Chains A and B, each alone.
Chain A
Amino acid sequence: MNKTLKSITSKRLFLPVFCLALVLLINLFTRPDFFSIEIRDGILYGFLIDIINRASELVILAVGMTLVVSASAGTDISVGAIMAVSAAVCCNVLTGGERAATAYSNPLILGFLAAVLVGTVIGCFNGVLVAKLNIQPMVATLIMFTAGRGIAQLITDGQITYVRVESYKTLGSSFPGFPVPAPFIVSLVVVLLTAVLLKKTALGMYIQSVGINKKASSLTGIKAVLIIFLTYAYCGFCSGLSGLIASSRIYSADANNIGLNMELDAILAVAIGGNSLGGGRFSIAGSVIGAYTIQALTTTLYAMHVSSDQIPVYKAVVVVVIVTLQSPGFARWRKALAQKKAGRVTGKEAA
């Protein structure tokens, strides 16, 4: 019995899952109806659905961020700004440069492709700075972090650009005749594709080994520079896609607000997922759970009717608790405590 418990608690994903469960469990006491899900107008409806729907952008960002963190031991802080740029590009392509449009001037797919392409290109730019020029990731991505929203403003003339066409809202709401929110499906596809790509090829192993020791990996023949470059490019791709969803939700490009502060949430998701920000070993599943934990917290606080000026305080407390629970220092302390206990037990037995 003790052994099975131990084997569960020593699993890598135990703590992230435990934290998510903890956040959700609070609702069991405060809002029993939190977990009820119904179908309304052919679409699933309920708080849990809100969580998986609203967390989608963050999940996609967290996937890209995990790879960046793992390979380069640094973070890409430009993801939020890239979202704004890709949203701006997409809306601008679709409206044909107008600030509001009720019909597409270019095919929808062209807008989508442009948005994802722009995200990837910016990711490549970051990748060159970090991988090729060896600029510290934080500094390198700071460039796009600062410039990104400016570029988005420039594209949209500093105004919110509206695409008032029903089909543009699909990606941010739901596919016709399908009850699951569309953003969730997109994020699911991204997560699965990434997982398959990493598991079925040696890419996952390469990324880890580069993150653990770049020089040693290079000596064994892994192209470390290329691997790091690819992770940044992929992170840019993810940001572009997530900007697209965020834009579709509000059928517009709001250069000031799309993806605002999302880079911090994405980094937090990676950390809550039990990944070390020092690079190396990583778990995509952990980061995804981390992303859902962050959204679950927000939705829970709304459901508990916590007033807006207090929400940041509650969030801070929960994040501190979660991060402490997972910290190496805490683990050492726990281990020491367990050993002491074990020591006392064996001592008693001997007596």
Chain B
Amino acid sequence: MKRKVLSAILIAAMTLSLAACGSKEAPADTAAPAEDAAPAAGDEEEPAPAGDAGSGDLITVGYAQVGAESDWRTANTESFKSTFTEENGYKLIFDDAQQKQENQIKAIRSFIQQEVDYIVVAPVVETGWETVLEEAKEAGIPVILSDRMMDVSDDSLFEAWVGGNFVKEGETCGDWLAEYLEAAGRGEEEINMVTIQGTIGASAQVGRTEGMANKLAEHSNWKMLEMQSGEFTQAKGQEVMESFLKSYDDIDVVICENDNEAFGAIDAIKAAGKTCGPDGDIIVVSFDSVKAAFESMIAGDLNATFECNPLHGPRVAEIIQKLEAGETVDKIQYVDEAYFDTSMDLEAILAERAY
């Protein structure tokens, strides 16, 4: 009896989890029927998806996305969905890997089976891709990488990489700071800085720290008091800033390697009875430029934010068009990235911002 109940519950749990997966993918997946049908259909029906891909003369693109981890990721997904539409001559097969590499590898294999024309991958991690990329190469399907890089011994395994230049973002931050301090008449003054780093080892952390370090070397009057990881979260950013404020009395600049850390740092600064922002004691700058960062700048807490552009779709489409025309493309392609500070018309920018 007990066993029966147990098995009944297990079966219920399994169906539930299946249903949950299904419902999660459904809204995200415009080309769901084709993708769902393919693995179930087996060998006999395999030509079907390829056939219907050819019917409308659409270019079929499979996109293996990391998952929905942040606003940035959502904007990145949206960018692909709005670029690779049927009106533009594409058919997008979208796969949400829920932050798991094995799901992405499965997705790439299913793209190969469905004989898509191009595979786009935003890898979860950098390593462990050689085998599946070789399979794609054998099938003659070009692979384009978005956002993170893959660490492969043979870089002919992928056609191109599209992403942000984190080192340049760090340098832009340094340049902005130099200009801002100059304008405030503090160009020669001794400036004390602290950095709330991202998760140690993440490419955004490594690049932004390096870019800022390059600029730090150019200014002898800038002093980096301490760098500590806030793990890209608001809670940790707050905790680390609390500690910085107790250790140093005269912090002039706080550099946060993402926006969320800055929100935490701002709370900590206020709790310690200090002020920040354009009219405050402490200058706070951050990276990524999510919507909430604009709200923080409008509120007068944050000084500037340096963009990490998630709109990779158009650039990938450009690469695909070039490849279709038989042209060669550059292996490394950076997307354009801007910065925003409180001197701009932030309300207007925020109103039309996609992410």
Q: Which residues of A contact B (CB under 8 A)?
A: 40-41, 43, 45-47, 50, 54, 100, 133, 143, 147, 150, 153-154, 158-160, 162, 164, 173, 246, 249-250, 252, 254, 256-258, 298-299, 302-303, 305, 307-309, 311
Contact = CB atoms under 8 A, between A and B. Distances in A.
Interface centre among B9, B20, B234 (most CB of A within 10 A): B234
B68 A303 contact: no
A159 B71 contact: yes
B192 interface: no
Contact of B24 (A154, A159, A303): A154
Contacts of A50: 239, 242-243, 246
Nearest to B68: A158
Most buried by A among B200, B235, B247: B235
Given A254-B233, A257-B233, A305 B226 contact: yes
A162 B271 contact: no
Contacts of B145: none
Contacts of A246: 235
A246 B135 CA distance: 45
B156 to A, nearest CB: 34
Interface of B: 2, 5-6, 9, 13, 17, 20, 24, 68-71, 74, 98, 197, 200-201, 226-229, 231, 233-235, 238-240, 242-243, 246-247, 260, 263-264, 271-273, 292, 295
Prevailing SS type, chain B contact patch:
helix
Nearest to B231: A257
11 contacts: A133-B9, A143-B13, A153-B68, A158-B68, A159-B71, A173-B271, A254-B260, A257-B235, A299-B243, A302-B240, A308-B228
Contacts of A40: 272-273
A303 B229 contact: no
Contacts of B201: 309
A162 B292 contact: yes
B68 A47 contact: no
B200 A308 contact: yes
Contacts of A159: 68, 70-71, 74
A250 B238 contact: yes
Contact of B74 (A150, A158, A164, A303): A158
Nearest to B5: A133
Contact of A249 (B13, B20, B68, B238): B238
A41 B13 contact: no
B238 A302 contact: no
Contacts of A45: 272
B20 A150 contact: yes
A173 B271 CA distance: 9
Given A47-B246, A160-B71, A256-B70, 19 more contacts: A40-B272, A41-B271, A47-B243, A50-B246, A100-B292, A100-B295, A147-B17, A150-B98, A158-B69, A159-B68, A159-B74, A249-B235, A250-B264, A258-B235, A302-B239, A303-B246, A303-B247, A307-B227, A308-B197
B271 A43 contact: yes
Given A40-B272, A100-B292, A257-B233, A54 B227 contact: no
B239 A54 contact: yes
Nearest to A159: B71
B227 A250 contact: no
Nearest to A260: B233
Max chain B CB contacts within 10 Å: which of A46, A143, A154, A159?
Answer: A159
Contacts of B68: 153, 158-159
A146 B24 CA distance: 15
B345 to A, nearest CB: 21
A15 B330 CA distance: 63
Contacts of B295: 100, 164
Contacts of A143: 13
B188 to A, nearest CB: 28
A49 to B, nearest CB: 9
Contacts of A150: 20, 24, 98
Q: Which 6 A/B pairs are nearest by Cβ-Cβ distance?
A: A308-B229, A158-B68, A302-B243, A250-B234, A257-B233, A41-B273
A303 B243 contact: yes
Nearest to A100: B292
Given A154-B24, A250-B234, A257-B233, A46 B246 contact: yes
Nearest to A154: B24
Nearest to A102: B295
